[in-house]
Amino acid sequence: MIDSTGYVFVNGRLVSAANASVSVFDRGLLYGDGLFETMRAYRGVVFAIEDHLDRLRTSARILALPVPEHEWRDVCGDLLRRNGLRRGDAWVRLMITRGAGEPGLLPPDPPEPTTIVMAGKVSPDHARWRQHGVPVMLLPFAREGFLAEHKSLNYLSGVFGKALAARHDAYEGLYVDSGESIREGTTSSLFVVKDGVVSTVPLGGILPGVTRRIVIDLAVAAQIRVIEQRITAADLRQSDEAFLTSSVAEIVPIVRVDESRIGSGRPGPVTRRLQRLYQAAVKRHREQRLTT
């Protein structure tokens, strides 16, 4: 349920969520012409915010989408404070659209971007999913092409895939391309573990996940071997362990794909170790931010 009692950041101002609005001619609404980032904040500190902003700016340059200059860390901190979210875990979503314009595919020149930042409490279900693991399903389609590498507001494939997974009592749907390779989840990156070796899908045609990269770096630093390679449905079903990563969900073990159990059907030791390493990284980041 949407909490209309809090605040959102719209075009440079904190405003009441109940009174926040954008033009019906906004290109984000008309065409999904925009980008977004979803981040996680731990007791008032947004984790890996610079990594998210770097990804946003990279995509914005490619798509010729202007990104307004703000002190984003301060914007997010003020928003969390005004919404009473500094004492717990929260999600923060930053959106940039190309702004309002006459209907038509050709963008306005110059564009006047719309900027929105919102925040809310992280669902307690995430802790349960991380602890016990989740089922996933294979989707009969994938996002393909270079646009899959950008976190655009055009997320209809993800909406459809997530809804399809939910109808099959699955936590996540995994995109499967025309070559029968698994690409990624609708909102997550995929990892499998076999004989102690961690594998994940290489970049190119998938979203370069911020949490994906952090987990790879943590694994390598801990001398856990990581390979970027093609992953098939058979690879996933025959893996010893598998897990998903995303900024809000962190590291979520996969215990079943469709009707097949993964490994023992419980979160495995490599996944558990990476979860601990990730939590330690979050703690270090927060402590560093509080002392600077």
Residue 139's domain is classified under what CATH number? 3.20.10.10
Closest CA to 275 of 219, 236, 194: 219
230 pLDDT above the threshold of 70: yes
Q: Among residues 122, 141, 165, which one ends one of the domains?
A: 122
- Strand 241-246 relative to strand 189-194, pairing: antiparallel
Q: What is the tens place of the pLDDT at every residue in 19-31?
A: 999 999 999 999 9
Q: Among residues 93, 122, 151, which one ends one of the domains?
A: 122
Does 290 reside within a domain? no
Closest CA to 117 of 234, 273, 264, 10: 10
Whether residues 277 and 165 fall in one domain:
yes
Does 1 reside within a domain? no
Whether residues 145 and 263 fall in one domain:
yes
Whether residues 157 and 180 fall in one domain:
yes
Q: What is the tens place of the pLDDT at every residue in 88-124?
A: 999 999 999 999 999 999 999 899 999 999 999 999 9
